[in-house]
Amino acid sequence: MAINNNDQFATLAVHAGSHVDSHGSVIEPISLSTTFAQSAPAKPLGEYEYSRSSNPNRKNFEDAIAALEKGKYGLAFASGSATTAIILQSLPQGSHAISIGDVYGGTHRYFTKVANTHGVETDFTNNLLEDLPKLVKPQTKLVWIETPTNPTLQVTDIKLVSETIKSINKDILLVVDNTFLSPYLSNPLTLGADIVVHSATKYINGHSDVVMGVLALNDKVLFEKLQFLQNAVGAIPSPFDSWLAHRGLKTLHLRVKQASESALKIATFLENTTDKVIAVNYPGLKSHPQNAVVQKQHRNGLGGGMISFRIKGGAEAAAKFSSSTRLFTLAESLGGIESLLEVPAVMTHGGIPKESREASGVYDDLVRLSVGIEDVEDLLEDIKQALNAASA
């Protein structure tokens, strides 16, 4: 089942990291063993010794992610947040980092409430490209971005950010959180990122039944540093979760393609429903402010499965809409086969003061949709009836 260098995404999704075992099992068994036999002291029979350090199911998943992200190495963790923690833990004391104002809330929390306790200071900006030259200091070690952002789906030109950083100091690492697009739509390592990270909880596992994180990269020295921390800190996923996430990954391309196609139809409908909708944020729309970047940065210019829109009628209409849907479940999280919706101002972004929330476009009337893989006609019908209910 050897994959080769010319294999394309869907082939890699199905075959990378998948091996036929000695029984001929087409799907690798779940290896629950915590420890592995040795033939003589310090001479393991195979490639594994102790399951925290590495185990077959986690290694298969890590290899698959590395292949799909076009990187040399992959490392999996107990959550997306643990992945973030390990990367920030790898920075020396006294380091400086730069990130975006609307970075994922948990990442912001780690920067400002945990990484600072070991002497890592972070600046946040809402205008990264313009501010980078001013913000970089001699001790700046890392820039952390997300594209598209959550929940307003602003898109950043990764290649341009990478070139700007490297022209100032080539040793500054660029980390891209690629959770919202998945490796099917974008491969940041090919655009100049040094590390790509995912909350595998979202599109990669894709079935809303595993919490996990993963990163991929090319640099061997950096890989060994992060692998050391993966083992030393021990925030690792179980073999069962690794197996489930790997199974989910095999259909990533089908799920993300369908979600993107449906999301474009839904976003177009919302954009045309001007009597009930104020504005729509969707990277796949021609009207999106960074659609030109989307066209070159995303596979086939696809916009992904995430949409946000401002409903007419304020917080009250947003609440009414989100409790009136039949198929869209009102819940946090995203990237699963089932459609979800949420109201960021009172749910995922409820902890941010109103003023700074609204400065980045998160108004009380903003609704976020995670479009699943149900029939789009049914999803559109559901949205229409909920819009009617909200405006009644």
Ligand X SMILES: *Cc1c(COP(=O)(O)O)cnc(C)c1O
Please list the active-site residues. 52, 104, 177, 202
Of the candidate spans 116-124, 129-137, 198-206, 278-286, the one that interacts with ligand X by CB under 6 A turns out to be 198-206
Position 256 contacts ligand X (CB under 6 A): no
Position 213 contacts ligand X (CB under 6 A): yes
Among 51, 154, 201, 297, binds ligand X (CB under 6 A): 201
CA torsion, ordered 200, 204, 209, 213, to nearest 10 deg: -10
Q: Between 217 and 390, whose beta carbon lies closer to ligand X?
A: 217
Minimum CB–partner distance for residue 26 and ligand X (Å): 29
Q: Between 17 and 304, whose beta carbon lies closer to ligand X?
A: 304
Of the candidate spans 20-28, 37-45, 156-164, 175-183, the one that interacts with ligand X by CB under 6 A turns out to be 175-183
Position 361 contacts ligand X (CB under 6 A): no
Minimum CB–partner distance for residue 179 and ligand X (Å): 4
Q: Between 198 and 324, whose beta carbon lies closer to ligand X?
A: 198
Q: Between 31 and 178, whose beta carbon lies closer to ligand X?
A: 178
* Residue nearest ligand X (C-beta atom): 80
Minimum CB–partner distance for residue 340 and ligand X (Å): 12
Q: How far apart are CA 103 and CA 348, in angstroms?
A: 12
Q: Between 174 and 390, whose beta carbon lies closer to ligand X?
A: 174
Three-state SS across the chain? CCCCCCCCHHHHHHHCCCCCCCCCCCCCCCCCCCECCEEECCEECCCCCECCCCCHHHHHHHHHHHHHCCCCEEEEECCHHHHHHHHHHCCCCCCEEEEECCCCHHHHHHHHHCHHHHCCEEEEECCHHHHHHHHCCCCEEEEEEECCCCCCCCCCCHHHHHHHHHHHCCCCEEEEECCCCHHHHCCHHHHCCCEEEEECCCCCCCCCCCCCEEEEECCHHHHHHHHHHHHHHCCCCCHHHHHHHHHHHCCHHHHHHHHHHHHHHHHHHHHHCCCCEEEEECCCCCCCCCHHHHHHHCHHHCCCCEEEEEECCHHHHHHHHHCCCCCCEECCCCCCCCCEEECCCCCCCCCCCHHHHHHCCCCCCEEEEECCCCCHHHHHHHHHHHHHHHHC
Among 156, 179, 218, 370, binds ligand X (CB under 6 A): 179
Among 154, 199, 297, 370, binds ligand X (CB under 6 A): 199
Q: How many residues bind ligand X (CB under 6 A)?
A: 16
Position 308 contacts ligand X (CB under 6 A): no
Position 182 contacts ligand X (CB under 6 A): no
Position 106 contacts ligand X (CB under 6 A): yes
Q: Between 213 and 248, whose beta carbon lies closer to ligand X?
A: 213
In the region spanning residues 63 to 102, those forming contacts with ligand X, defined by CB under 6 A, are 79-81
In the region spanning residues 141 to 170, those forming contacts with ligand X, defined by CB under 6 A, are 146, 150
Of the candidate spans 89-97, 104-112, 241-249, 306-314, the one that interacts with ligand X by CB under 6 A turns out to be 104-112
> How are beta strands 96-100 and 73-77 bridged, if at all?
unpaired
Q: Between 209 and 375, whose beta carbon lies closer to ligand X?
A: 209
Site string for ligand X, 117-146 (x = CB under 6 A): -----------------------------x
Closest by alpha carbon to 301, among 188, 193, 178, 185?
185
Query: Footprint of ligand X on this chain (CB under 6 A)?
Result: 79-81, 104, 106-107, 146, 150, 177, 179-180, 199, 201-202, 211, 213
